[in-house]
Amino acid sequence: MLHSKTRWHSPAADPIAVEELARSLSISPLLSSLLVTRGLGTAADALQFMDGGAEDRHDPFLLKGMAEAVPRIKKALQEEEHILVYGDYDADGVSSTALMIYLLRYLGASFDIYIPHRSNEGYGLHNHALDWAVQQGVSLVITVDTGISAYHQIAYATELGIDVIVTDHHEPPELLPEAFALINPKLPDCPYPFKGLAGVGVAYKLAEAMLGDEVPEEWSEIAAIGTVADLMPLLGENRSLVRRGLSSMRHSPFPGIRALLDVSAVTMSTVSAVNIAFGMAPRINASGRLDHAGRAVALLTTTNSGEAEQLAGELDLLNKERQLVVERIVMEATAKFEQQTAEGTLPDIIVLADQGWNVGVVGIVASKLLDRYYRPVIILDVHPETGMCKGSARSIPGLDIYAALSSCAGLMDHFGGHPAAAGMSLHRDKLEDFAAALNEFAASVLQPEHFMPVTAADGETAISDLTLQAALDLDRLAPFGMANPLPKFIVRGAAVKETRKMGQDGKHLKLVLQQGKHTIEAVAFGKGALAQLLPGGTMVDVLAELSVNEWNGSRKPQLMLQDLAVPNAQLLDLRGTADAVKQAATLKELLLQYSSGTSFSAAAVFHNSRMTPLNQLKGMSLWVYDENAGISVLNQGQAETGEGKVSLLCLLDMPDTPEQLDAVLAAFPQAENIALLHSIRDGRDRLQIPTRDHFKSLYKLLASIAAVATPEHEVLLRLSRQSSLSVRMLGKMLEVFEELEFIKRSNGTITFVTQPAAKSLTASRHFVRLGETAEMEQYFMESSLSELQEWMLSRRLGAS
- pLDDT at res. 150: 95
Q: Is 745 in a helix, a strand, or coil?
A: strand
For residue 637, pLDDT beyond 60: no
- Summarize the confidence of residues 564-583 as an average pLDDT: 92
Cα separation of 612 and 615, whole Å?
9
User: From the CB of residue 694, how many other CB atoms can be counted at a distance below 10 Å?
Assistant: 19
CATH of the domain at 382: 3.10.310.30
For the entire predicted model, the pTM comes to: 0.80
583 and 555 within one domain: no
pLDDT at 131: 97
In a domain, 328, yes or no: no
Segment (H or E) for 7: strand 7-9
Report whether pLDDT(231) > 50: yes
**Do 466 and 430 belong together in one domain?**
no
284, 361: one domain: no
pLDDT reading at 658 higher than 70: yes
Mean pLDDT, residues 624-642 taken together: 72
Q: Which has the closest alpha carbon to 314: 306, 91, 228?
A: 306
What secondary structure does DSSP assign to 291-307, as a single string?
S-THHHHHHHH---HHH
Distance of alpha carbon 412 from alpha carbon 402, whole angstroms: 13
Decide if 250 is inside a domain: yes
Give me the pLDDT at residue 798, please: 65
554 with 583, same domain: the answer is no
Overall residue count recorded for the chain in this entry = 800
Decide if 2 is inside a domain. Answer: no
Containing 436, the helix (H) or strand (E) segment is helix 431-443
The whole-angstrom separation of Cα 430 and Cα 412 is: 8
Where among 517, 541, 565 does a domain terminate?
Answer: 565
Query: Does the pLDDT at position 420 exceed 80?
Result: yes
Give the whole-angstrom CA distance, residue 490 versus residue 462: 8
The CATH number covering residue 206 comes to 3.90.1640.30
- Give the pLDDT of residue 35: 94
- In eight-state DSSP terms, residue 459 is -
Whether residue 50 lies inside any domain: the answer is: no
CATH number of the domain within which 702 lies:
1.10.10
What's the pLDDT at 756? Answer: 87
* 388 and 465 co-located in one domain: no
**Cβ-proximal residues to 311 (8 Å cutoff; 6+ apart), any chain:** 256, 259, 295, 296, 298, 299, 302
Under 8 Å CB-to-CB from 494, ≥6 apart: which residues?
Answer: 463, 513, 514, 515, 539, 540, 541, 542
Gap between the terminal Cα atoms of the chain? 20
Classify residue 52 by its DSSP letter.
-
User: Residue 2, class by beta-carbon neighbours within 10 Å (0-12 exposed, 13-18 middle, 19+ buried)?
Assistant: buried
Please tell me the least confidently modeled range out of 55-59, 220-224, 560-564: 55-59
Contacts for 112 with CB less than 8 Å, ≥ 6 apart: 82, 83, 84, 85, 133, 136, 138
Residue 100 DSSP class: H
DSSP 362: H
Q: What is the pLDDT of residue 636?
A: 54
Alpha carbon separation from 700 to 234, 695, 736 (Å, rounded): 87, 9, 15
Q: Nearest Cα to 300, choosing from 241, 238, 270, 258?
A: 258
290-343 pLDDT, tens digit each: 899 999 999 999 999 999 999 999 999 999 999 999 999 999 999 999 888 876
Amino acid at 314: E
* Three-class SS state of 354: strand
Q: Which of 310, 380, 300 lies closest to 92, judged by CA?
A: 300
State how many domains the chain has. Answer: 5
| Whether residues 122 and 263 fall in one domain | yes
Predicted pLDDT at 644: 61
Closest CA to 727 of 698, 752, 696: 698
User: Do 235 and 86 have their domain in common?
Assistant: yes
Residue 51 carries which side chain, given as an amino acid letter? D
Per DSSP, the three-state class of 575 is: coil
Pair 99, 86 in one domain: yes
Whether residue 295 lies inside any domain: the answer is yes
Tell me what pLDDT residue 352 has.
97
* Final residue of a structural domain among 502, 532, 565: 565
- Whether 528 maps to a domain, the answer reads yes
DSSP annotation of 787 reads H
pLDDT of 800 over the 60 cut? no
Mean pLDDT, the chain, integer? 92
Q: Are residues 673 and 749 in the same domain?
A: no
pLDDT at position 643 over 70: no
Where would I find the H helices in 160-272? 199-211, 219-229, 236-249, 255-263
Which residue, 183, 184, 276, is CA-closest to 221? 276
- What pLDDT sits at residue 645? 79
CA distance 506 to 532: 12
Q: Are residues 258 and 132 in the same domain?
A: yes
Average pLDDT over residues 45-53: 87
Q: Do the domain assignments include residue 538?
A: yes
Which amino acid appears at position 300 of this protein? L
Q: How many CA atoms lie within 13 A of 730 on its CB side?
A: 23
Question: With contact defined as beta carbons under 8 Å apart, do 289 and 118 qualify?
Answer: yes
Bond into 397 cis (ω within 30):
no
Q: How far apart are CA 418 and CA 169, in angstroms?
A: 10
- Give the CA diameter of the chain: 129
Residue ranges making up the domain that contains 359: 345-453
Statement to judge: residues 311 and 198 lie in one domain:
yes
What are the pLDDT digits (tens) for 514-543?
999 999 999 999 899 999 899 899 999 999
3-state per-residue secondary structure call for 66-96: HHHHHHHHHHHHHCCCEEEEECCCCHHHHHH
User: Which residues, at least 6 apart from 209, have a Cβ–Cβ distance to it below 8 Å?
Assistant: 60, 61, 63, 66, 69, 70
DSSP label of 480: P
pLDDT at residue 682 greater than cutoff 80? no
To which H or E segment does residue 605 belong?
Answer: strand 602-606
Stretch 367-377: mean pLDDT, rounded? 94
Question: Domain of 499: which CATH number?
Answer: 2.40.50.460
In the chain, pLDDT over 70 holds for what percent of residues?
A: 98
The residues, any chain, with a CB within 8 Å of residue 676's CB and separated by 6 or more, are: 571, 572, 573, 574, 575, 651, 780, 788
Last residue of one domain, picked from the residues 565, 583, 614: 565
Verify that 372 and 401 share a domain, yes or no: yes
The answer to whether 330 and 354 are in contact (CB under 8 A) is no
Q: What is the pLDDT of residues 205-227, one digit of tens each?
A: 999 999 999 999 999 999 999 99
As separate numbers, helices (DSSP H) first and strands (DSSP E) second, the chain gives 26, 26
In a domain, 661, yes or no: yes
Using DSSP's 3-state secondary structure scheme, residue 484 falls into strand
pLDDT at residue 642 in the model: 47
DSSP assignment, residue 682? P
